[in-house]
A and B are shown apart, each in its own frame.
Chain A
Amino acid sequence: MLKELVLLFLIVFAGTGGELCVTRAMKKLGEVKDFRPASLARTIFRVLGVGWMWLGVALMALAFFSLLGMLSLESVSFVVPVTALNYVAGALGGKFFLGERVMGRRWAGVFLVCIGVTCVFFSRR
């Protein structure tokens, strides 16, 4: 039980944290407008110089391995729904880390996700 909770925590927070860091790195770089291979390669090369990108990728890798660990312990119809907590962490992270305005409607959706995840969590045998 404790192991599952730790893995879930890592999947949700490392996953969302990773995406937030990658978003921050990409915003720092500016909008990608040129999709020709040479300039895409240059974009990739430039993004490697942004520290947030490295942190983001490391966190996403950690989340992926935690997901594998969780799937080795639990059924997929349990694991995937509980990772919907990403929406909760995403709303909080967007608000406090990226300064996005999260409106009432979105909080209502996040609340529904929370109740749903709670139901799924207690459906564990």
Chain B
Amino acid sequence: MSSSKVTVEERQDMAPMSTPHHHSGRHFKTYFLILLVIIFSPLGNVLLSTGMKEVGPMTFHSASQFFGVFAQVFTSGAIWLGIASLFVYFISYMLVLSWADYSYVQPATAMGYVIVALLGHFVLHETVTPLRWIGISLIFLGVLVVGHTPPRTTEHR
């Protein structure tokens, strides 16, 4: 029991030392949460996709079919892992937004679109055509531009 306590304390000691900066603790926290956002949002979507491909195309011709699909969805391990990933993403995103600027965090969200395409291509072996890459790049740029506007407009001026 006491040994696990020591490791936690060691970790807390090491984090601020890794960057010789005044607010290094907060910087570390911010980078760490942004990293979680970048990893868990695309991962969640890829896992949901994997799960849904196992379930098969959703069709709702009858009520019994609907509940059948519903049961399959909520007994799929991949879907639950996907939901858990999106939950981690959502919590990290909310937490980081409670102190960091929206425009500072926005590039991380934009990156998600590129990462999800990379994962789709390399992990799920989806065909990503050049036109789709162009589209994804434009979306990435668009999100960056949107993020570069003041985060609050309802009280200024």
* Residues of A participating in the B interface, judged by any CB pair closer than 8 Å: 67-69, 71-73, 75-81, 84, 87, 91, 98-103, 105-106, 108-123, 125
Measured between alpha carbons, how far is A13 from B129 in the docked complex, in Å? 27
Q: Are B149 and A77 in contact, CB atoms less than 8 angstroms apart?
A: no
Measured between alpha carbons, how far is A116 from B44 in the docked complex, in Å? 22
Mostly helix, strand, loop or mixed at chain B's interface?
Answer: helix
Closest CB in chain A relative to B47 CB, distance in Å: 9
Closest CB in chain B relative to A121 CB, distance in Å: 8
Known: A72-B58, A101-B154, A111-B142. A84 touches B124 (CB 8 A): no
Q: Are A103 and B131 in contact, CB atoms less than 8 angstroms apart?
A: no
- The residue that B126 contacts in the complex, of A68, A76, A87, A110, with Cβ under 8 A, is A76
User: CB-CB < 8 A to B131: which residues of A?
Assistant: 119-120, 122-123
Q: Are A68 and B149 in contact, CB atoms less than 8 angstroms apart?
A: no
* Residues of B participating in the A interface, judged by any CB pair closer than 8 Å: 42, 45-46, 48-49, 52-53, 55-58, 73, 79, 112-113, 116-117, 119-121, 124, 126-129, 131-132, 134-150, 153-154
User: CB-CB < 8 A to B147: which residues of A?
Assistant: 109
